[in-house]
Amino acid sequence: MTSMTLLLVDDEPLLRLGLRMVLESNEGVRVIGEAGTGEDALRQTMELKPDVVLMDVRMPGMDGIEATRRIVGSGSRSRILILTTFDLDEYSYGALRAGASGFLLKNLPPTDLISAVRSVQSGDAVVAPSVTRRLLDAYAHRLPDPDRPGEPADPRLARLTSREHEILLHMAEGLSNAEIADRVTLAEATVKTHVVRILAKLELRDRVQVVIYAYEIGLIQPNKRPPIFG
């Protein structure tokens, strides 16, 4: 099992303790820091460089969304997983726009939490299904009308090879690397390499941004298989 370092960010010490106990009961998982404010989360992320930051939203001073925006904007390679009690659109959309790689509710089972953290570490995205459905609804009205001339395609698409374009479409459907490998008859490691190149060429951070991007430019339509993360 791949080793992983975590930073826990929540203003409730007891909750941080519970998360630490759950997470460190798994082989290879190590919590290297805890923070109770957004400011401290930002400082510790820069100093400790954790693989994943579990970030609460509502905290005194700088909230988790602003802390996420600053961490991502700094160029940090740490990935952010928002973990909150509040299933509110203003939080979920704000977190994803800020660059978070996932948004989950705190009432999820422990086994789902560790799976989500490992997915985020590997470059995938995890979003609570209820949030995913609302996210797609929110973007549906922005899609090109098939009966009217659309906007020109994003010029960044021209950077992709035909194989990368094919894999991009599967990523936008919400398929995992293993599922894509089965679909296109490639080794999973090869698919992973393609995914890394696609993200770099399109200047996108992770799979959440790929799905939003695909819907915004009309690569995926609402009546097709919806992407479900987590």
Give dist(CA 206, CA 185) in Å, integer: 23
pLDDT digits (tens, 9 = 90+) for 18-72: 999 999 999 899 999 999 999 999 999 999 999 999 999 989 899 999 999 999 9
What are the DSSP E strand ranges found in 56-136? 79-84, 102-105, 126-127
For position 137, what pLDDT does the model report? 54
Q: What's the whole-model pTM score?
A: 0.66
Sign, CA torsion 36/204/125/144: positive
Q: How many CB atoms lie within 10 A of CB 183?
A: 15
Residue 205 contacts residue 196 (beta carbons within 8 Å): no
> Nearest-CA neighbor of 220 among 88, 113, 132?
132
Give dist(CA 162, CA 166) in Å, integer: 6
Residue 95 contacts residue 7 (beta carbons within 8 Å): no
For position 156, what pLDDT does the model report? 86
For position 47, what pLDDT does the model report? 96
Q: Would strands 126-127 and 29-35 be described as parallel, antiparallel, or unpaired? A: unpaired
Amino acid at 148: R
3-state secondary structure of 161: coil
Residue 91: burial class (beta carbons within 10 Å; 0-12, 13-18, 19+): buried
Residue 108 contacts residue 138 (beta carbons within 8 Å): no
For position 128, what pLDDT does the model report? 67
